[in-house]
Structure 1
Amino acid sequence: MVLSLVSLCAREVVRDHSSSPCWLRWVPRELYRPLLDASFTGCRPLAVGELVQRWPERTLRVGRRRKPGQTGPNRLCVQALLLAVVRGMSDQRCALQVLDLCGLQGDDGGMADSMGGWSLTVALCTMVVQARTRAQRAQRERKRLSVLQREKDVKRERGEKTNTTEPGGQDAEKLDLCGTMEEEELIPGVRRRMEVERKRDTLVTGPAGTRRDAEEKEVNADVSVHVRADLFVNARSWERVRGALSAQGPLRLQCRYLRVEEVSVTTIKTLLGLLPRQGLLGIDVRYSSLGVAGLAELLPLLSTFPALRSLRLHYCNLDFRRDHVGQEEALRDLSQGLTQLQELRRLSLTALRLPGQLRVLLSSLPQPLEILELPYLSLSPADFAYLSCSHHASTLQQLDLSENRLDESTLTSVRRLLSQAAGGLQHLSLSGCGLTDGLLGLLLPSLGGCRALKSLALALNPLSVAGLVDLVRMAVRMPSLRQLLYPNPLEDYQPGLPDLPSSAQLLDWPLGAVTDINVTSSQLNRVLMESGRSDLFLTCDLLNYDKDLVD
């Protein structure tokens, strides 16, 4: 990465914090962004705090999409930023009105010194509560000073009235006349001020409002900074998140993507009721025992968010194979709830055990999906047949069918599905689908027809070296393909592996000598070099594979 001259100079400027008083007062607003970027890159939390406290623009975006290999901002720098936002509200030099932290953290939190989703959420909620406390303290102080000033004015006015009306001396008649004139001018002024104060109190408190309600409404009347972020809520952070979303103060917390883990349906419903309706793009529910009835309860609430485009459910205990009382009714409610998600474009269902029910779910959606992830769903041949003919097939950009067994009965439907999606499909995962050399050979023509495909994942499939060579020869003829995740061939495993091993057996079975793995990699790279495709990345590293790196 080639740095510009401005970036290089900014790094040198923020390197020495002792010199900041010299240059901060003279920095033009155009240089604040390069200086802040350099402070984050060089891990200079003190410089971050000073720049943010004086931020000269209305908007500050920190959570921009990172390039491959880049890590998130250092934890200390993020904490310094949040503290500076609170301090900046009382700094006249700060013009900040919108703080955008969306995308700042990843799912796993990144490196050890960066801030993960849970930590960032807790820190944001703490910042909101602190800002509210400071604002209430300042409001009480202003009220106290106002009361003192009002008492002084009343005392001064009464003193003037007594002095002017007191008789004495040869000019008593003249003084009495002047006092009468001043009193007539004074009374309308006091009455007018009392009427204004009474009207203001009525607007704030209402006829039966309490003092506490008045304070909260008065603090919430003018939001200073809108904070946009992705929130990560679990049982440990729930109470703090609820307090921050309920707080009425100068900071207003807005959520773009909401991720919840191991919380009840009641808690999720309460959380959705606290979120602002505008701005929520997606919700990700993980490891929560929703059940079919619980999900049916949530869907009407989700439909109240007009911009919701993504719904992800992972390990949420949705099992249609069990014979429960009221299952059919709950399924109808679920289908009806899905019809209300007008803007949904992404649906991810992981390990929900939905054999034979895909038509009920996907046919209910009013708009065709762009991203469909269905790993570990035990899809039946009827599910594959419906998907290949559905209104979603031609619009799919990302499809994940991992860990759904493919065989001769489903191969025709999969080939039809790939043919329908060939024009726009960019990411495809068929990992752990039981593809043998024979099945893959029948599927290769359909895969090769996906001309827009950027990444292809085929890990944990029982393929031989010969099958992998055929796969790579097909891949090099796909001009858009940039990443290929291939499985370790059967020849690389230690003896004793079954003839048709499952994905779990391939994952747990020990590999042979490292030299055999290198031989396989050399064979595949030789095919790559002969084709002249230096832009295609081949890997068998399942843990570090990331399809988003090609975007």
Structure 2
Amino acid sequence: MVLSLVSLCAKEVVSDHSSSPCWLRWVPRELYRPLLEAAFSSYRPLAVGELVQRWPERTLRVGGRRKKGQTSPNRLCIQALLLAVVRGLSDQRCALQVLDLCGLQGDEGGLGDPMGGWSLTVALCTMVVQARAAAQRAQRREGERERKRFSALEREKDVKRERGQWKRGKEPYGDEGSTDRVVEDRERMGSYGVLGEQELIKGVRRRMEMERKRETAVTGSGGSRKETEEKDVNSDVLVHVRADLFVNARSSERVRVALSTLGPLKLQCRYLRMEEISVSSIRTLLDLLPCRGLLGIDIRYSSLGVAGLAELLPLLSTFPALNSLRLHYCNLDFRRDHPGQEEALQDLSLGLSNLQELRRLSLTALRLPGQLRVLLSSLPQPLQILELPYLSLSPSDLAYLSCSHHAATLQQLDLSENHLDENTLPSIRRLLSQASSTLQHLSLSGCGLTDGLLGLLLPSLGGCWALKSLALALNPLSMAGLMDLVRMAVRMPSLRHLLYPNPLEDYQPGLPDLPSSAQLLDWPLDEATDLNMTSSQLNRVLIESGRSNLFLTCDLLNYDKDLVD
């Protein structure tokens, strides 16, 4: 990556923190962004704090999708940023109103010590509570100053009253002019009393005016009461903080407190990920989130059940921008012999029908065989991303999917660990034909594809001319079948990433004739076999075809389809 001259100069400027008092006061606002980026990349938390505390723009965005080779911001730098946001609330030089941290979190313990999603969420909640406490301390100090000022006015009024009484005692009452002066003194003392009362009720009038405006908004506006309350709360907010939140059982109470805290910082959520949380706790968190702004919900390892999810879906429909719903290992096990399951499944279908903007649906290991039509047919808009791994899809499920209104709009499809055979292959081919112009990412890992099945499927795969990544790991393919796959891949101009399985010849003896994906994952590779020979043969096909932009890998753990974007 070639750095610009501005970036190189910015790295040099932030490298010496002792010189910051000299240059910081003269920096134009246009250079704050490159200086902050240089401070992050050089791991200079003190420079990050000073720049953020004086941030000259209304919006500060840190995070988002990183470029290839770019690491997440350092943990200490993020902590310095959050502390500087709190200090900037009382700094007149800071113009910050929106802090956008969406997409910031990295992998815990990764290169450069990035801050993971859980740690970032806890730090954000702590920042919101600290800002509230700081605002309360400032309010108490301001109240103390007002009390002292009012006491000074009262003392001044008492002194002038005593002076007026002394003058009346010295001057004769029979004098007509002295009587006029007494009246003037009384009027003057009365005016001081009025001033004191005005100072006393100034805050009361202000509060009454705010209450009157709030009542007018509630009775006169057409929006819901929740939206009106959100507007009232936002009117007192100094900085809106947008982030992706990761909540589990250990942090749910802290997140609840932060979301319900009224103060100068308002925490907003773009994507909410929840793990090992009960249905009631999920409802509590969703009730505290603003109606607008939430784009996605990810629920993992929570024992929802069909009835629990059906209970949550009406609440999800109150978020108009929600376009992503992901459910992983949530114990959605449909059994016809259990009473009430049919009614719960119908409620589930009805709840999905109210998600007007849903474009991504991920269902992992939910055990709903034969029920895909009931779920997907109720969605009002066609999906763009559909992930159905470990779902035990039946032939009827795949037949419906190939003819559904979602097939022609799919950009990403994951059918991993769903067994495919001769009965389901026609449906898969029809599905790929429907999605040939839109499908960009496809995963068929662990689907039991043999050389024969793959040979029948290759023409349909080759017809997906928009495909960028293809994952076929943990399928029982021989070296001959793998070579056919690569020869097909080099003829696909858009394909950039191919995750291929280790050929059966690379494993130690003893594998069954048709091994499962679990057996292929656990079975050791043969040390006597030259594993580099497989890679060399595949790369030779790339060289002969002139495809230098196609990346081949068998590394399942480090495979990331998002790198092609």
* TM-score category (smaller protein): over 0.9
SS of residue matched to 1:495: coil
Task: Name the residue aligned to 1:214.
Answer: none
Q: How does 1:55-454 map to 2 (within 5 A)?
A: 55-106=55-106, 110-111=110-111, 113-164=113-164, 166-167=167-168, 168-169=170-171, 172-173=178-179, 175-183=181-189, 185-186=191-192, 188-202=194-208, 222-321=236-335, 323-454=337-468
Whole-Å Cα distance in 2 between the matches of residues 349 and 378 of structure 1?
11
Task: Name the residue aligned to 2:482.
Answer: 468
Whole-Å Cα distance in 2 between the matches of residues 268 and 504 of structure 1?
33
1:309–1:344 contact (8 Å) kept in structure 2: yes
Task: Name the residue aligned to 2:223.
Answer: none
Whole-Å Cα distance in 2 between the matches of residues 137 and 205 of structure 1?
24
Residue identity in the other structure for 1:443: L
Task: Name the residue aligned to 2:215.
Answer: none
Residue identity in the other structure for 1:178: E
Whole-Å Cα distance in 1 between the matches of residues 533 and 441 of structure 2?
28
Say which is worse superposed, 175-184 or 398-407, in terms of deviation: 175-184
Residue identity in the other structure for 1:392: H
Whole-Å Cα distance in 2 between the matches of residues 316 and 108 of structure 1?
24
Q: Report Cα offsets for 1:232-289 as digits up to 9, x if no partner.
A: 0001111111111111100000000000001111111111011111110001000000
Say which is worse superposed, 183-192 or 29-38, in terms of deviation: 183-192
Whole-Å Cα distance in 1 between the matches of residues 335 and 187 of structure 2?
92
> CA 1:506–1:485 in structure 2 vs 1: closer, same or farther (change >3 Å)?
same
Displacement of 1:522: 0.9
> CA 1:220–1:358 in structure 2 vs 1: closer, same or farther (change >3 Å)?
closer
> CA 1:470–1:397 in structure 2 vs 1: closer, same or farther (change >3 Å)?
same
Whole-Å Cα distance in 1 between the matches of residues 232 and 155 of structure 2?
28
Displacement of 1:154: 2.3
SS of residue matched to 1:407: coil
Q: Report Cα offsets for 1:529-548 as digits up to 9, x if no partner.
A: 11000000011110110000
Displacement of 1:29: 0.5
Whole-Å Cα distance in 2 between the matches of residues 221 and 187 of structure 1?
34
Unaligned runs of 5+ in 2: 213-230
Task: Name the residue aligned to 2:220.
Answer: none
Question: Which of 513, 520, 540 matches 2:534?
Answer: 520
Unaligned runs of 5+ in 1: 207-216
Whole-Å Cα distance in 1 between the matches of residues 529 and 510 of structure 2?
19
- Give percent identity, aligned residues only: 76
Q: Report Cα offsets for 1:508-533 as digits up to 9, x if no partner.
A: 00111375321111111111111000
SS of residue matched to 1:285: strand
1:220–1:249 contact (8 Å) kept in structure 2: no
Whole-Å Cα distance in 2 between the matches of residues 52 and 63 of structure 1?
15
SS of residue matched to 1:104: coil
2:336–2:342 contact (8 Å) kept in structure 1: no
Displacement of 1:106: 3.7
Say which is worse superposed, 508-517 or 111-120, in terms of deviation: 508-517
Whole-Å Cα distance in 1 between the matches of residues 461 and 96 of structure 2?
50
Whole-Å Cα distance in 2 between the matches of residues 358 and 394 of structure 1?
17
2:413–2:443 contact (8 Å) kept in structure 1: yes
SS of residue matched to 1:297: helix
SS of residue matched to 1:424: coil
Residue identity in the other structure for 2:503: P
Task: Name the residue aligned to 1:537.
Answer: 551
SS of residue matched to 1:349: strand
Whole-Å Cα distance in 1 between the matches of residues 364 and 108 of structure 2?
18
Task: Name the residue aligned to 1:493.
Answer: 507
RMSD: 1.9
Displacement of 1:192: 4.3
Displacement of 1:110: 3.7
Whole-Å Cα distance in 2 between the matches of residues 155 and 75 of structure 1?
54
Whole-Å Cα distance in 2 between the matches of residues 499 and 108 of structure 1?
40
2:306–2:344 contact (8 Å) kept in structure 1: yes
Matched, 1:53 2:59: no
Length, aligned pairs only: 541
1:437–1:467 contact (8 Å) kept in structure 2: yes
> CA 1:330–1:219 in structure 2 vs 1: closer, same or farther (change >3 Å)?
closer
Q: Report Cα offsets for 1:135-190 as digits up to 9, x if no partner.
A: 01111111121122112212212332342354124873453243144245445544
Say which is worse superposed, 93-102 or 191-200, in terms of deviation: 191-200
Residue identity in the other structure for 1:493: Y
Residue identity in the other structure for 1:182: R
Whole-Å Cα distance in 1 between the matches of residues 322 and 401 of structure 2?
23
Residue identity in the other structure for 1:342: Q
1:109–1:117 contact (8 Å) kept in structure 2: no
Task: Name the residue aligned to 2:218.
Answer: none
SS of residue matched to 1:510: coil
Whole-Å Cα distance in 2 between the matches of residues 282 and 399 of structure 1?
18
Question: TM-score, normalization: structure 1?
Answer: 0.95
Whole-Å Cα distance in 1 between the matches of residues 549 and 235 of structure 2?
55
Q: Report Cα offsets for 1:205-231 as digits up to 9, x if no partner.
A: 89xxxxxxxxxx999751111000000
